[in-house]
Amino acid sequence: MARNRLDKEDGPEKHMGLLQLVQMLSLLVIFVAGIIIGIASSPHINRYFDSLKQFTFTNNIASPKISDDNCTILRTCEKVDCLSMERFVHPDNLTHSMTDDEVLWRASMLPYKKGYPFDRVPKVAFMFLTRGSLPLLPLWERFFRGHAEYFSIYVHTPEDYEFNVSTDSPFYGRKIPSKDVEWGSISMVDAEKRLLANALLDFSNERFVLLSESCIPIYKFSIVYKYLIRSEHSFVESYDAPTRYARGRYNHKMLPDIHQYQWRKGSQWFEIQRNLAVYIVSDTKFHAIFKKYCRPACYPDEHYIPTYLNMFHGPLNANRTVTWVDWSVVAPHPATYYGIDITKGFIQSIRNKGEQCSYNSEMTSVCYLFARKFAPSTLVPLLNLTSTFVEELRYHFYSTLRVHLGKLWLWLLKSYEL
């Protein structure tokens, strides 16, 4: 009986001890949880994990480094949306790492969907194939001034040539990845196709004109632009002549792919529309034939494009060039003009040769837009001549305005008398 009373008396104390133990364990769990939450929310530990994550990713991505005596700082590259429509249709960086095959492949893409999903202002691509510098650069800069949205510039130089111009020049940053060119070889055609391919990457380019460092414009930009953009045809000289300099350069080993009656010759300095440019950069079959069988005294740059267009796209070609050149002297190269030759009458004579040519199925006296070959000494006379032309145009405008105002004044006087 005594034991039972003792058990009854110890029961409440035992329950109180268990309750205190549970409370202590609960407090301990809450305390530990608080410590864990505090550590997890600490800005220092966040920075630690962020830096750890950044370190993990920057080990896989090349990042520029800035080093000093005490530390190395990793700077992440600026995020660029390489697949944006703007960068796709208007590449802003001509310094790419694509091979010739890669850029020709990209340029050969021809969209079949009609229209453009962006506001397209058709541009003229001016492609300069040079042996180095552009001695007539200031003349071209004046020609392009004020028309930035209507043209693109592409410059092909020898591979290691440093093409340096001022940052405010329209030629700044416009050199494409280039290779050395050997006169009279297939490398000349390769350079032309390289220029076309890079220019085709900009989907706003509609017309493509090939120029050299000795070329000059003989009309102002607005006239040249309208003439080319509104033309229904391309301008590639392509003719057949029974001479050793034309038909005589044909190689019968080109059979059965190219027959003699299809063989053509023409000036290297062409102007073509976009669709034809795509066809030319896409061709590999006939380029390989010319590379193998058209060697000096056969010159591929005078035969490849004229023959190719004659065979497949003749109706799209005007069969003439828009770049005037003087072949009156019998020599391997055309005549070169110097500073002493530059006069107003000389330029006018190039503009109007007293001949007619076809333009959109009609006859016109405006047959040439450019001319060559002009030596560096012609720069200053040409710039002075351009200024004179501008002053004459201004004088003509004000003279015409005065005449019309005079007629209006006389009409008002007569009306008042009546």
**Strand order across the beta sheet in which 205-211 lies:** 151-156, 123-129, 205-211, 271-273
Tell me the average pLDDT of the chain: 82
pLDDT per residue over 330-379, tens digit each? 777 889 999 999 999 999 999 988 789 999 999 999 999 999 999 999 99
Instruction: Give the number of other CB atoms < 10 A from CB of residue 186.
Output: 20
The predicted pLDDT at position 6 comes to 38
Flag whether pLDDT at 400 surpasses 60: no
- The identity of residue 60, as a single letter, is N
Cα 280 to Cα 328: distance, rounded to the nearest angstrom: 31
The token duo for 70 is: 């005490």
The mean pLDDT of 239-254, rounded to a whole number, is 95
Task: List the single range of 178-192, 243-257, 302-316, 387-401 with lowest mean pLDDT.
Answer: 387-401
Q: Please tell me whether residue 152 adopts helix, strand or coil conformation.
A: strand
pLDDT tens digits along 72-108: 444 444 555 656 788 888 887 788 889 999 999 999 9
How far apart CA 320 and CA 367 sit, in angstroms, is: 9
Bin 356: left if φ > 0, else alpha if -120 < ψ < 50, else beta: beta
Query: Rounded to whole angstroms, what are the CA distances from 222 to 71, 145, 154, 155, 387?
Result: 57, 11, 20, 22, 17
The secondary element (H helix, E strand) that includes residue 129 is: strand 123-129
Residue 352 confidence (pLDDT): 84
CA triple 285-286-288, angle to 5 deg: 70
> What local confidence, expressed as pLDDT, does residue 201 receive?
96
pLDDT confidence of residue 66: 40
Would you tell me how many other CB atoms lie within 10 Å of the CB of residue 100? 13
pLDDT value of residue 391: 46
Cα distances from 19 to residues 13, 15, 29, 231, in angstroms, run 10, 6, 15, 99
247, two tokens? 């038909």
What is the reported pLDDT for 415? 59
Which residue is it, tokens 């053509």?
Answer: 264
Whether pTM exceeds 0.85: no
Residue 319: closest CA among 264, 375, 245? 264
Least confident window among 12-16, 67-71, 147-151, 292-296: 67-71
